[in-house]
Copies of this chain bind each other. A is one copy, B any other.
């Protein structure tokens, strides 16, 4: 494939340093992980956003977190229609093969995907709002969340944050539509969690299901 270029030099140099430091420090553990496979305790589902790194934030050591990153940390509803469902495949693998104990949905402030959904639902229009847009379709998952916040007063920033919270709640709700997830939760093998992080301040709001609200921790 003539179009494919060798890894750019700035990345190759960084990798070289990683090998001499982090990898060397963890050599025996990487060797173990290669031989014995992964046994992660938690699965995270977070956003692709370059400013949010769950591994860094929660000090993930190699082998700790099975990690999905997609636009706006969304879980689609269970849909066994034989179509391609990348996030659902990851959830299936984490729950039925790896048997993770936790699934954490991690949302964040300033989410571009959530903003695109907001603009579309408000009828503001954008180039992402075309029929051919994958983002527009993907963000439709969040439409039920918009319905819940649309009549709440507030300025744009407040309403966007509410919708970001909804991106977490909708995902948690959709998670429970997967029979194998429901079963694992009901049998005490799996706990589900939601959290939202503010990029600028580093604050984390954890979702409390019993109160149905987000609270700083």
Residues of A within 8 A of B (CB): 1-15, 17-19, 22-23, 25-43, 48-51, 53, 55-71, 74, 76, 80, 82-94, 96-97, 99-102, 104, 109-110, 112-113, 127-128, 131-135, 137-141, 169, 172-173, 176, 185, 187-195, 198-202, 204, 206-210, 212, 217
A89 to B133, CA, bound (A): 8
> Would you mind naming 23 contact pairs between A and B with Cβ atoms under 8 Å apart?
A1-B176, A7-B193, A8-B26, A11-B102, A18-B59, A19-B202, A28-B188, A30-B51, A32-B100, A35-B200, A37-B110, A38-B49, A38-B51, A40-B50, A48-B93, A49-B66, A50-B65, A76-B86, A83-B83, A84-B85, A85-B134, A89-B139, A97-B128
CB <8 Å contact, B12 and A99 = no
